[in-house]
Structure 1
Amino acid sequence: MINLTFDVSWKLPYSLCPSFPCPLRPVVLAESLYSSLHCSRYGNGPAPFSDIGKRAKDLLTKDYTYDHKFTFSVPSSTGMGLTATGVKRDQIFVGDISTLYKSGNTTVDVKVDTYSNVCTKVTLNDILPSTKAAFSFDIPDHKSGKLDVQYLHNHAAINSSIGLNPAPLLEVAAALGNKDLFIGGEIGFDTASASFTKHNGGIGFNKTDFSVALILMDKGQTLKASYIHTVNPLNGTEVAAEMTHRFSNYENSFTIGSSHTVDPCTTIKTRFSDNGKVAMLCQREWRPKSLITVSAEYDSKAVNAAPKLGLALALKP
């Protein structure tokens, strides 16, 4: 699949940053302009249930990698795109090649990995008003077929999924409200065992400069709260916090982080967790739409363990 983190960029007039030859790619500023982005994707309606708490989660986890990763994307004006990805974990190298073809309202995505698995996904947009459907399957796994349907309305966002096999897994998620305040839930039902695999609920409140989310997950056993705030939209400084409480053992955990745009082409992120792990990320757009990301993590409780280091390089002509 094409990594949108590497492919989506905004170009502002060069007069806004004349000292930098590259276009402004505001990783953090994009989050502070959430309202305009949200309206373009979902209109005035709520985002899907899976987007509750997404802003804080992205700041705390997105782009952090402790492997060696390489991504090469070749877009095409004819509707055909090609992406090659390689990841080295310890002494093991894995990779995949994916193609994306768009024609009208139809998108076909085919990915082949180093284990000869072929993943195919066909998406049909606007098959009905405000509705899209996606059919996916893997080869040689003949039980992997799945049908996903999404419906977006001014006051509701509904996602459903069903496995295409004799004992399918059914999943439904819904969110009600508007672009600023919405509440939702999701359930999963395994027809093979006639049991619920999940039932979660949450509420989200989003404004241009901050976002708050509260999610009851793990079948009601875990409560997660997250908050993200734009401190300075001019230089893209944001802070975020996430706290988790587990009712089963009364255990609490938290993670705090920050993101700062040093210049129009460089972003620095930091993260600290209550388990003693400290992480830092530096991402540089050294040419338009081509990124290099360096990540590091140190576990203060594992004094004999070496810090984790990661390097990700994304190229797009």
Structure 2
Amino acid sequence: MYQVELQYLHDYAGISTSIGLTAAPVVETSVVIGNEGVALGGEFAFDTASGNFTKYNAGLNFVQPDFISSLNLTDRGDTLKASYLHTVSPLTKTAVGAEIAHSISRNENTFTMGTQHAFDPFTTVKARLNNHGKVAALVQHEWRPKSLITLSGEVDSKALDNSAKIGLSLVLKP
């Protein structure tokens, strides 16, 4: 599919719009304003064939040297997420984080906690656990600049009779 994309970037704001070159294009737009410490943004997609918005999300983000916190409204306004990531050790990239997500339509909450640690400048391990019993982990190694191999896995501890998910990813950059 061909499309036209327009972008405007400023020190404290940016906007990007893309329009599909079809008879009934989808128009996608994203906007962000902010500085080094705080950013507010949003995105939406409008399907001209149906006359409906197919995507709309918004977020507020705070960044400091030792933490990142954010508040996001996603899934077309159905999910509200709040998250916090705290850097414990910048040297080893050790961090801990948590996210709480509330689905408005299902009236369901999900609480996720996670951590990451770099064993060396090239090898990172990450793990997460949520209140629904899903446990996931990954090991990622960069053997040359921008070339990565990642091994990941996820298991539902409340349904151990189901198969675990295992993944292998290879990224090669020249």
Name the TM-score, length of structure 1 as normaliser.
0.50
Q: Is structure 2 residue 83 aligned with structure 1 residue 249? A: no
Relative to structure 1, the CA distance from residue 184 to residue 282 in structure 2 (aligned partners, 3 Å threshold; closer, same or farther) is: closer
1:207-222 equivalences under 5 Å are 207-222=64-79
Query: Aligned match of 1:166 in 9, 23, 27?
Result: 23
Higher helix share: 1
Q: Is structure 2 residue 7 aligned with structure 1 residue 157? A: no
User: How many pairs are equivalent?
Assistant: 173
C-alpha displacement at 1:153, in angstroms? 0.4
Q: Is structure 2 residue 90 aligned with structure 1 residue 223? A: no
Q: Distance in 2 between matches of 1:308 and 1:257?
A: 18
Q: Is structure 2 residue 49 aligned with structure 1 residue 192? A: yes
Relative contact order, higher structure (CA 8 A, sep 6+): 1
Structure 2's unaligned 5+ residue stretches are none
In structure 2, what is the equivalent of residue 288 of structure 1?
144
Which of these two proteins has the greater Rg computed from alpha carbons?
Answer: 1
Over the residues paired in the alignment, what is the CA RMSD in angstroms? Answer: 2.1
Q: Distance in 2 between matches of 1:203 and 1:225?
A: 10
C-alpha displacement at 1:291, in angstroms? 3.8
Q: Is structure 2 residue 143 aligned with structure 1 residue 309? A: no
Match of 2:91, SS state, is: coil
Name the TM-score, length of structure 2 as normaliser.
0.87
Q: Is structure 2 residue 102 aligned with structure 1 residue 237? A: no
Structure 1's unaligned 5+ residue stretches are 1-143
**Percent of residue pairs bearing the same amino acid type:** 51
Match of 1:174, SS state, is: strand
Relative to structure 1, the CA distance from residue 175 to residue 315 in structure 2 (aligned partners, 3 Å threshold; closer, same or farther) is: closer
C-alpha displacement at 1:174, in angstroms? 0.9
4+ long deviations beyond 6 Å: none
C-alpha displacement at 1:218, in angstroms? 2.7
In structure 1, what is the equivalent of residue 155 of structure 2?
298
Match of 1:248, SS state, is: coil
Q: Distance in 2 between matches of 1:199 and 1:315?
A: 33
